[in-house]
Structure 1
Amino acid sequence: MNCNKPFRLSAITIAMMTLLSQAQAQVASNPDTNAATTATAAPGKADEVQQVVVTGNARNGGQRKIDASYSITTANEEQLKQAAPSSTADLLKIVPGIYAESSGGNAGANIGVRGFPIDGDAPFVTIQMNGSPLFPPPTLSFLEGSSLFRIDDTIERVEVLRGGPSPIFSNGQPGATMNFLLKKGRDVAEGSLRATVGTGNLRRIDGYYSGKIADGWYGSIGGFYRVAQGVRDGQYPADQGGQITTSVTRKLDQGELTFYARTVNDKNTFYTGVPLISASSAGGKPTAFPGFDPLTGSLYSNELRNVALEVGPGQVLNKDLANGRGLQANLFGVDFSQSINGWNISNKLNHFSGDAPTLAIFTGNSPVSMSSYINSAISSANGQANVVAAAGGKQAVSGTATYLNGGAAVAGDQQVMSAGIWSVEKKLSSFTDELRISKEIVKDHTFTAGLYYADYSSKDMWYLGNSVLMTATANARPINVQLNNGVIVSGNGHDGASFYTLNENFSAQNTAFYLADEWKINDRIRVDAGVRTENRRLNGVISNPKSVDLDNNPLTLYNNSASVLSGSNTPVDRSDNEVSYTLGGNYKVSENFSLFARLNSGFALPQFDTIRDNGVNAPVTKVKQYEIGLKSVSEYFSAYLTFFHNTFTGLPFQQFLADGRNVNAIGGSSGSGLEFEVAARPVKNFQISLSGAYQKSKYENYGTNTGNEVKRQPKLQFRLSPSYRIPFDNGDIKLYGTYTHVDARFADAENQQSLPKYYTLDAGILVGLGDNLEFRLVGTNLTNQLGLTEGNSRVIGSGSSVVFARPIFGRAIEASVLYRF
């Protein structure tokens, strides 16, 4: 990287100077003085009354959630476990206004925020650890932020901020910021071991330990390891790997310094669409394709697992699909805060590096019978003069199909399909640093100045396509096809080579400066404003592909038109300067009831892939948001309501089609809606909560799609969650469940591929015995509902009677035992 040295050293220099100056200082007898982690409810009040949040505000100690003039959802360790997320993205189901498609597995989610229009991935969601972004761009092609994070027992809580002042702080994310806060060591040592088993032969171990190292010094270590065949059985482990996280904290006089590190080595299968029979009427649900269970079926198989990809003349790339869409990465961070004579200083930095590859099956066109496939191949081959000439002038009149493994003949009525083995190698590196200084310079005005710097890069090697002819069945089998004139349509299972080969190296440096002012007008009214100016310098090199016949043999159709590197490259150099701002206010009606309003204007700079696809002059996406909300908390009831409206301009759109074409467009949108989080506690030990959002968003200035609904996001989604605690001598039992409703959506901007509404039912039981033992049993999608989260994103329009879509996972059960010590 090319980090600016002053930025690189800012946190370490300030922290170490303060640490040395206080080496002999008296450390407070209670180490847990951070307001964000020790606030407790007053007697007779709900626990959340005094809950403090640190995300989205400039205060070192944070502020009460109910006093924050923006929308933020929080979840503690128990709430994280109760949600039973299948991945980091799946946890976002507890956040109103966010719709996460986590049906692809542990990585590669699509996440929409408040009707923000997206093509896929998660361009408006930033993942943070301890307030620092893991990787500054929230999305690149074949990468979204949640894929870089794994949840385990080292997490104390998560805070998810939507809109609000987020365009000002950190990396200036205008959408949602998901901030995971690590546990820290305390005076009293604590530890836990948790063993989990579940559907798909899941086996997982989690561990955590923390405590006091020396006077003023505290440490923690934890992590997990798991292996799982997967709810969708691909005949080999879908998920295998784990991570370790450590931290060391030094308590200072009026401050704190924490060093933390994480290493991850995880492999995850990535699932795309499966074949379905389309609904016979509008709004109806597709049904299962014959012989393929959409809830548990997977195209992956041992016969497909090890693939040989021809990537150039005489060049073969051997790949193992078990490596999937995984992560091998290391993260190191420093979190420092200090108060000195009324000046509050904080600095957060981290360094992330690693590999985030994608090796997966990507589906395309609809299945056909083996006979129809051969007939189409005959027609295509006979229509190519060079192929007929290479066959001695003989045209094909028939063909044979055999299984690659064993050589048995494939029946003519067997349904078959071509699906690509896409290989993407992605090496990532980033360094971020954010320095904040705040002080009440003028009475009742607390001014904050901040400096943010990021240096990040991505080095990619893509081979897209590499289609394999396979049976349209669970655990598909590859097929070879040869015509009677010597033409080989499918060789070694492949009926196509790479249609898009790319080698690109990008790097960028962002420097931002912001000012914020919080004005306490009186005990009831508080307003805040902020402005941010940001500069980004981006440069890169993009390869120029060419099409060749890999073996110079026209008779081998499967590699006659392969995309390979040409040896020439296109340099890219671009500089951006943008300004964002926010203005908000909070009116405290009573101690635990407040109203707020806010407007902000933010932006999303075109990232590496957007510039590659739309040119160096790709527009900046501009986002304006308006919010009005209320927050009320009492012993028996709590409510968080936010009305929002947003507008977009300069929105890029990208779509890879099954034939290799890449469709790009620029447009905009607008949307309005209501987010709600309410809970009632009518009697002791019982709570019922309702959270969700209603929104309507439409495309604007989007060509023929103007006025259409923004794709992939439901108008209405909600979660109804009751829970009941039954105390008994030396323990208690907690029963809980969740009913989730997701409205109908469209899979495409054309509003032709309808995704029907669906619901799921989850339930769990938690049994605590004394202070040490805890047993948990949880089930998700207990009624085996067929819910679709994605249509065939590589086909524009409604398609045929047989379609591809990606269903949610079928019923899954997990059981765990936790021992605390």
Structure 2
Amino acid sequence: MAKTAFFLVTSYLALSTPAWAETAAANSTEATAEAEADTQGADQTAKPPVEVFSTGVAKGRDRLDSATSTSALRGGDITILGPRPIGEVLRTMAGLRVAVSIGEGNNNFTVRGLPLAAGGSKYMQIQEDGLPLLEFADLFNVGADVYLRNDLTVNAIETIRGGSASTFASNSPGGVINILSRTGEVEGGSMQLTTGVDFDTKRVDFTYGAKLGENTRFQIGGFYRQGEGPRNNGFDGWKGGQIKANITREFENGYVRLYLKYLDDRSPVFAPYFANITGTNADPIIRSFPGFDLRNDTILSSFLGPVITLDQNNQPAAFPVATGQSAESKSIGVEAQFDVAGWTITERMRYAANGGDFSRGFPNTANTVSAFAAGQGGVGATARYASGPLAGQLIDPNGLINGNGLLSLYFFSFVRARSLDNFTNDVRASKVWELPGGKLTTTVGAYLATQDLNTTWLHTAMNIDANGNNGTAQVDIFNAAGQPQTLNGYFAFARASSLFRRAFDVNYKVFAPYGSVNYHFGKIAIGGSLRYDTGRVRGSLVGADLNNGSVGLITQDINSDGLINPAERRVAFLPFTQSAPVNYNYGYLSYSAGINYRVAEPVSLFARYSKGARANADKVLFTPLINNADGSIRSTRDKQDDVKQLEGGFKFRNDGLTFNATAFRVTAADHNVINGAANRTDRTYRATGVEMEGGVQKGPFSLMIGATYTKAKITADLLNPALTGKEPRHQPDWTYFVTPSVDLGRAVIGASIVGVTKSFSQDSNLLVMPGFTTVDLFGQIKLFNGGSLQVNANNVFNTLGIFEVNQASVPANGVGFARAINGRTISASFRFDF
């Protein structure tokens, strides 16, 4: 009843405060001037403040004059939420579906029912200062958010959903998320020290901006942190930070800005863990097992590892389990904007050297001690600890070790990214033509990008127990004759087979000319835009599972003791003599057209139809779609996935009250890989729904509220027709958030409430994942002039929120795997502004 009431209130009052929605967007001086020019001559005292939005559009303009669905957060409103990962911040923005809980990066982002068949952000481009972090935001094991951090340098976050995003950025048919940096407009700085109250973290953030002369200004900032993190690792899961800087030189008719960034940061990766799943498919009960809390524990521990396997040169190597997401990025960018002969010319360029090591553990099987041992060693097999304080001790086959009596086989992947370097350049020219009946804005531009994909996938397989709180240890299995079936807890020096022993060396080149026109006359604005993306893909692949085949495993004496253990007969290698080329081109047209009607000063209506696409990057490699003889791709439809969107909306803004609602209908194609070539997908989808956001600002009180209702369906599954007509997995009907706050002058208090309703764990539509709501609290008090203390309590009620379940139905033995959000964590920050 309470949830129904919430949805009714949301549908009627979906409001968004300008304090949260308005953004001082970087690089929008010309946009502000245009917005002001569009409103000259009217009664300025009767008008609400102009909200200029510049992401994914030809030229920044007032949101009420644009036929797009957009949202924004300002830096101060982001800071009050605490130093949390960017994915958690984006959960508080309308229209987005963000599945966090994996870690700092590699989270899952989508919009408007577009599918999340695999991880990352396939249909939404993730940008920093107007250019993508990676050309493809869903690369295997390395999503674009891996190279993105939230700190005091962030000035605003802008998102555009649908609309013209498909024609003003490549590979963004669903929308664009743009993180904008501070650029020194406001002189002064901040220093913030953060510590965990009930978990281990120490962090320092800083930012400072000032003038270097009459026409020159700069901004510098970043963070450094170290600590175990939000779960019980037993080691410093978080370690590292970043520094960002920019310098701007202004001229009479424009400016030039230089950006620099250095990121070297390590963070843990969390996977599906042991879950007790009982009840029925329609009404399951998902709980933590004794001895392992899904919210606070992880299999990572100081007794685990290292990851022993053959390296990229087929030589034995050992990598630390603590590696997690160890991301490294060095980037330099230039931005320039000038007014020349009535044209506004904008140039953005960035080169980023991206790399790092990325490790994670993910489950294969779990069972009772006796059943697990028999599965690997036959009848009468036994288990002994191979590491930790009980190393060498026999495990009672009928006992409840750790309170749960479970053993498990986990695969550990270790991805070495030697180069994910990219270069991007976007140049555009816009001009506003004064016509007798109105204004005609024309824009032409060209986008050029290159993206490296030079990675190696390495794996090993370990037997472990289900022991939380830094207790996880490796386990050996012996057959009834006492002969070892594993080696020091390693079942295989592979992923139990040769699958996923891969090396990519592929380069993508993208070129896209684009253009738009927008005619604004009276209360009406009509516009359209075109973009033509071409891509050139060249490279080579090496792998034991090319084209669904396998060259098998080899036998190798990994520990050099002169004996061959059964685990040493399961060693995966890279067959460099059997490489395959990648050699194909692609091209596709994107277009968007919309109309906006400014009914009255505070009200506008809009409608838009768009078609965009997403190039299929690495998700078609190592599949039958690529001809391993010549590197060609099977057909044109396999080169990219098209997305079509029809949307219409209503916007209202007046006297501290705003309301934005957009109805949408989306169709999309998706070529993807869920978990290896055996789980390849080739589908089409349809989704309809409505997204709402809004808020109210009255005196000290503000409220931001939003909800998205989506009904999605797999309209055709070309590989598994039985799934046609099913709902996509992990697609809730409702996502919603509420953020109330009260500013008492010397103190600010508030909450962030975010939730999702139930969804299916898999596309078969059997097992239901329960919906959940989390509550975060924040409070800030001014201690003295420039000094403040802030406390953030995330998931204050310690809710068990499930984002992923591996099983398609309730398991007969009640043992499954689920990925849950982090439990309650409380941090305190002291900030000094100067």
SS of 1:168's equivalent in the other structure is helix
Counterparts in 2 of 1:332-371, with a 5 A limit?
332-365=332-365, 367-371=366-370
Letter in 1 for 2:756: V
Query: Contact 1:460 / 1:503 at 8 angstroms: preserved in 2?
Result: yes
Distance 1:83 1:314 in 2: 46
Query: Contact 1:112 / 1:713 at 8 angstroms: preserved in 2?
Result: no
Q: Does 1:585 align with 2:604?
A: no
2:741 pairs with one of 696, 702, 723:
723
1:92 pairs with one of 83, 90, 93:
90
SS of 2:373's equivalent in the other structure is helix
- 1:436 maps to what in 2? 428
Distance 1:71 1:33 in 2: 18
Distance 2:272 2:381 in 1: 32
- 1:813 maps to what in 2? 826
- 2:412 maps to what in 1? 421
TM-score by length of 2: 0.87
2:712 pairs with one of 683, 697, 700:
697
After superposition, give the CA deviation of every residue in 1:526-563 in whole Å (9 maximum; x if it has no partner).
Answer: 01101111110101101132323323799622232333
1:469 pairs with one of 428, 444, 463:
463
Counterparts in 2 of 1:561-710, with a 5 A limit?
561-567=570-576, 568-613=578-623, 614-615=625-626, 616-617=633-634, 618-649=638-669, 651-656=670-675, 662-681=678-697, 683-702=698-717, 703-710=721-728
Query: Contact 2:81 / 2:778 at 8 angstroms: preserved in 1?
Result: no
Letter in 2 for 1:440: V
Letter in 2 for 1:741: G
Per-residue deviation, 1:523: 2.1
Distance 1:723 1:733 in 2: 11
Distance 1:456 1:718 in 2: 35
Flag the 1:51–1:440 CA change in 2: closer, same or farther, 3 A.
closer
1:404 pairs with one of 384, 387, 390:
387
Letter in 2 for 1:600: S
- 1:9 maps to what in 2? none
Q: Relative to structure 2, which stretch is displaced further, 744-753 or 429-438?
A: 744-753
Per-residue deviation, 1:309: 2.3
Q: Does 1:548 align with 2:553?
A: yes
RMSD: 2.4
Letter in 1 for 2:597: Y
After superposition, give the CA deviation of every residue in 1:253-273 in whole Å (9 maximum; x if it has no partner).
Answer: 121111111000001110001
Per-residue deviation, 1:354: 1.8
Distance 1:353 1:459 in 2: 12
Distance 1:363 1:112 in 2: 25
Per-residue deviation, 1:642: 0.8
Letter in 2 for 1:332: I
SS of 2:736's equivalent in the other structure is strand
Per-residue deviation, 1:769: 4.7
Counterparts in 2 of 1:48-197, with a 5 A limit?
49-59=49-59, 62-84=60-82, 86-121=84-119, 122-186=121-185, 189-197=187-195
Tell me which of the two structures has the higher relative contact order, counting C-alpha pairs closer than 8 angstroms and 6 or more residues apart.
Answer: 2
Query: Contact 1:632 / 1:638 at 8 angstroms: preserved in 2?
Result: yes
Per-residue deviation, 1:284: 3.4
TM-score by length of 1: 0.88
Distance 2:587 2:622 in 1: 19
Flag the 1:347–1:407 CA change in 2: closer, same or farther, 3 A.
same
Per-residue deviation, 1:576: 0.5
Q: Relative to structure 2, which stretch is displaced further, 224-233 or 167-176?
A: 167-176
| % identical aligned pairs | 23
Distance 2:695 2:382 in 1: 65
SS of 1:137's equivalent in the other structure is coil
Which runs of 5 or more residues in structure 2 are unaligned? Answer: 1-25, 400-404, 545-550, 627-632
Flag the 1:258–1:489 CA change in 2: closer, same or farther, 3 A.
same
Per-residue deviation, 1:799: 4.1
SS of 1:326's equivalent in the other structure is strand
Query: Contact 1:502 / 1:544 at 8 angstroms: preserved in 2?
Result: yes
- 1:245 maps to what in 2? 244
Query: Contact 2:381 / 2:477 at 8 angstroms: preserved in 1?
Result: no
Per-residue deviation, 1:32: 10
SS of 1:431's equivalent in the other structure is strand
Counterparts in 2 of 1:476-515, with a 5 A limit?
476-485=472-481, 487-498=483-494, 499=497, 500-515=500-515
Distance 1:755 1:255 in 2: 53
Query: Contact 1:125 / 1:145 at 8 angstroms: preserved in 2?
Result: no
SS of 1:90's equivalent in the other structure is helix
After superposition, give the CA deviation of every residue in 1:427-446 in whole Å (9 maximum; x if it has no partner).
Answer: 21110101101223573222
- 1:307 maps to what in 2? 307
After superposition, give the CA deviation of every residue in 1:659-715 in whole Å (9 maximum; x if it has no partner).
Answer: xx632121100001111112133x421122211201100101112111111111211
Query: Contact 1:274 / 1:804 at 8 angstroms: preserved in 2?
Result: yes
Distance 1:78 1:110 in 2: 25
Distance 1:362 1:33 in 2: 45
Query: Contact 1:313 / 1:550 at 8 angstroms: preserved in 2?
Result: no
Per-residue deviation, 1:601: 0.3
After superposition, give the CA deviation of every residue in 1:102-157 in whole Å (9 maximum; x if it has no partner).
Answer: 10110221122111012122112222121111111121111211111001111111
SS of 2:113's equivalent in the other structure is coil
Query: Contact 1:44 / 1:635 at 8 angstroms: preserved in 2?
Result: no
Distance 2:113 2:431 in 1: 37
SS of 1:489's equivalent in the other structure is coil
